[in-house]
């Protein structure tokens, strides 16, 4: 083996077993794209049959009841649940920093799926944007696979994540209570859902890792495990509120817009937590940081360009 490849292989922190998480995450991303299309269709049908005074104020109880009776939405929800289980499985294998960016593949699949269903051909700008998405994601995942690693989550790190989540929940609750009557643009629901889903992924990763620790290190149940219980509670709350915000976003914009926003906000927040709080890239040399930033910028640029140029998508100037 050439010396250059030998030196590079020494830096690879992702084991073959952990690498299994990458294709698993890709399968989950595809299912999320399909589920998104089905859920959006169900919400749109409800919007056509139930009078809505102001969709920007979020879904009403009548809309929620109507959504629950739509077979298309229910099928999409089941698929979404399966996709989440698949993503949790990928988190059991690979670090959060590696798995989470792969969710952006859902945007590409959504764009292509929408174009096929509407019998609209993607133009050059859309294809170029998809190339930026794939290129940015591939670059990020490649270097994340080289240097990111799953570490044992300490109680201090776990408490930090929970405190941040509580602050986020309070902020969203206050904003929603005070400003709901004025109405929110779709981007508010997208950002809120993206942030909350990022915490869902992070907490799921933490819970999985702590269960592994308890299983293999012999920790006694009940020994400081109230933090893990709080993680489960926080995950459920964040998932439910995030789901509500996503459905509200569907009532205000096309699925491409929703997926584009989520694939920007969700990975950015989750990866930031993974790097800053969990220290998953602590062993990475300083020169990798600009590479991460460049890869992220390419992916973000591709997402915005795809959202802007896709034939069925409105531009995203608010973001």
pLDDT in tens, 232-265: 999 999 999 988 888 888 777 677 777 776 777 7
**Which pLDDT does position 234 carry in this prediction?**
93
**Which pLDDT does position 214 carry in this prediction?**
59
Nearest Cα neighbor of 80 from 47, 21, 36 is 36
Q: State the maximum Cα–Cα separation within the chain, in Å, rounded to a whole number.
A: 68
Here the tokens at position 143 are 């270097």
Nearest Cα neighbor of 90 from 153, 30, 27 is 27
Are the C-beta atoms of residues 245 and 68 closer than 8 Å to each other? no
- The CA-based angle 284-290-293, given to 5 degrees, is 105
Are the C-beta atoms of residues 101 and 144 closer than 8 Å to each other? yes
**Which pLDDT does position 169 carry in this prediction?**
93
**Which pLDDT does position 168 carry in this prediction?**
94
Here the tokens at position 37 are 């299309």
Q: Please give the DSSP secondary-structure letter assigned to residue 220.
A: P
Distance of alpha carbon 15 from alpha carbon 243, whole angstroms? 34
Phi, psi at residue 317, to the nearest 5°?
Answer: -65, -25
**Which pLDDT does position 311 carry in this prediction?**
64
pLDDT in tens, 284-311: 788 888 888 888 788 778 777 766 776 6
- Is this model's pTM higher than 0.85 or not? no
For the chain, give every domain's residue range.
3-309
- Residues of the chain scoring pLDDT < 70: 1-14, 46-63, 118, 145, 150, 180-186, 212-224, 253, 261, 306-307, 310-319
Provide the CA 124 distance to its chain's centre, in angstroms: 27
């Amino acid at each position: 083996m050439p010396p250059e490849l030998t030196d590079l292989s020494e830096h690879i922190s992702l084991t073959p077993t952990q690498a299994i998480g990458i294709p698993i995450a890709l399968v989950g991303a595809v299912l999320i794209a399909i589920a998104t299309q089905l859920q959006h269709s169900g919400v749109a049908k409800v919007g056509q049959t139930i009078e809505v005074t102001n969709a920007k104020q979020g879904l009403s109880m009548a809309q929620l009841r109507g959504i629950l009776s739509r077979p298309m939405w229910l099928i999409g929800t089941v698929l979404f649940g399966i996709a989440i289980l698949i993503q949790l499985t990928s988190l059991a294998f690979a670090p959060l920093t590696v798995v989470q960016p792969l969710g952006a593949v859902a945007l590409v699949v959504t764009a292509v799926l929408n174009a096929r269903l509407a019998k609209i051909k993607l133009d050059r700008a859309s294809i170029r944007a998809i190339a930026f998405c794939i290129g940015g994601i591939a670059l990020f995942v490649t270097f994340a696979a080289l240097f990111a690693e799953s570490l044992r989550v300490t109680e201090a790190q776990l408490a930090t994540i929970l405190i941040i989540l509580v602050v986020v929940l309070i902020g969203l609750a206050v904003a929603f209570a005070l400003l709901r009557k004025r109405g929110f643009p779709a981007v508010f629901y997208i950002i809120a859902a993206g942030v909350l889903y990022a915490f869902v992924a992070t907490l799921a990763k933490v819970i999985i890792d702590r269960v592994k620790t308890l299983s293999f290190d012999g920790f006694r149940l009940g020994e400081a495990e109230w933090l893990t219980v709080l993680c489960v509670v926080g995950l459920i709350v964040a998932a439910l509120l995030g789901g509500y915000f996503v459905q509200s976003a569907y009532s205000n914009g096309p699925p491409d817009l929703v997926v584009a926003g989520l694939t920007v906000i969700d990975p950015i927040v989750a990866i930031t937590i993974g790097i800053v709080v969990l220290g998953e890239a602590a062993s990475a040399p300083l020169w990798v940081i600009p590479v991460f930033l460049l890869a992220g910028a390419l992916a973000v640029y591709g997402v915005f360009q795809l959202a802007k140029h896709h034939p069925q998508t409105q531009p995203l100037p608010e973001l």
